[in-house]
Amino acid sequence: MNDFLQVAPEVMIAIDAGVPVVAFESTIISHGFPYPANVECALECERVCREGGAVPATIAVLGGTVCVGLTGDQIEHLATARGVTKVSRRDLGIVVARHADGATTVAGTMAIAAMVGIRVFATGGIGGVHRGAQQTFDVSADLLELSRTPVAVVCAGAKSVLDLALTLEVLETHGVPVVGYRTSEFPAFYSRTSGLGVDVRCETPDEIADILRAREAMGLRGGTVVANPIAPEHEIDRETLDGWTTRALREADEAGVHGKDVTPFLLARLHALSAGATEEANKQLVWSNARLAAQVAIALAR
């Protein structure tokens, strides 16, 4: 489409033909899991998406080229290469201009998906308002991206290390609807519950697609959060999780970890404290989101 953007032929053909396509981020490959779990997670997301009847489009920046739809070798490269930049919207121009590699966050992936006409995106959990943001003003760019980019984001809520109540307040302020898939409660990533409500509960992918179509028809700006709780058999007890999170947050503060380094640090510490239980839960919820995103994309394409 231009000198900086390369869309895989399969993805381009699907978009042109109106075939359902689901976008996937690449930060989960470069910064979310250790090797080889990162490759396993990414390839299984694509397999689940295809099995569901949609075309997967994993997004990343490779050598300064924005790539929509990756090969197995490109996924392997992102999983093993060192120094891959974590790319949000603000970083895209920099990474492209420097001909560097970048793994896209939720915000970066949404921006690129919208460029090529992909309407549905599956991820693990969105970013949000960090705990203590009243002093640090640490709020994820994901929330602002959701306020302006017309892509539906299927996720297991927001990452549990965040201030979920304030995250929902910011989404409300920016007019971003939060749709619960078969739940009336906003999920907390590893946990199905948070004690916080969603804006509307939907029982089927078709109901979700109806809301997306209505928003598009009215020209309403921004995206939609589709909150899909982790399956009961894979969730982690909230009290146990809160204890691990409190300890990890204290360690991050003591280590002077700030900004975009906070979430990867916390997730790594939770992995260690849980003896790997959070990694398995993370995989399962991402695959579940990929499955639902394919169903929503199909319903939206009808």
How confident is the model over 53-107, as pLDDT tens digits? Answer: 999 999 999 999 999 999 999 999 999 999 999 999 999 999 999 999 999 999 9
CA–CA dist 1, 7 (Å, integer): 8
Tell me yes or no: is domain 5-301 CATH 3.40.50.1000.
no
* Strand locations in the chain (E): 5-7, 21-24, 55-62, 65-68, 85-87, 102-104, 120-122, 152-155, 178-181, 200-202, 224-227
Q: What is the pLDDT of residue 116?
A: 97
Distance in angstroms (rounded) separating the CA atoms of residues 291 and 41: 13
Query: Mind listing the pLDDT tens digit for each residue in 11-32?
Result: 999 999 999 999 999 999 999 8
Q: Cβ atoms within 10 A of the Cβ of 242, count?
A: 13
Instruction: For 102-112, write each residue's pLDDT tens digit.
Output: 999 999 999 99
Tokens 């699907």 appear where?
A: 14
| Ordered DSSP codes for 144-162 | HHHHH---EEEESBB-TTB
Reply yes or no on whether the pLDDT at 49 is more than 80: yes
**How many angstroms separate the CA atoms of 230 and 236, rounded?**
9
Provide the 3-class DSSP secondary structure of residue 278.
Answer: helix
- pLDDT(137) > 90: no
What mean pLDDT value characterizes the chain?
95
Active site residues: 25, 159
Name the residue ranges covered by the structural domains of the chain.
5-301
* pLDDT per position as a tens digit, 163-220: 999 999 999 999 999 999 999 999 999 999 999 999 999 999 999 999 999 999 999 9
- Structure confidence by residue, pLDDT tens digits, 280-295: 999 999 999 999 999 9
* In the chain, % of residues over pLDDT 70: 99
Q: Are 67 and 9 in contact (CB under 8 A)?
A: no
> Per-residue pLDDT for 1 more than 70?
no
CA dihedral sign of residues 106, 107, 110, 111: negative
Burial of 34 (0-12, 13-18, 19+ CB in 10 A): exposed
What SS3 state is found at 250? helix
Res 161 pLDDT > 90: no
Q: Which of 187, 227, 191 has its CA nearest to residue 211?
A: 227
Distance between CA atoms of 60 and 23, rounded to whole angstroms? 11
Which pTM value belongs to this model? 0.94
b/e string for 12-32 if b means 16 or more Cβ within 10 A? bebbeeebbbbbbbbbbbbbb
Q: Could you tell me what percent of the chain has a pLDDT over 90?
A: 83
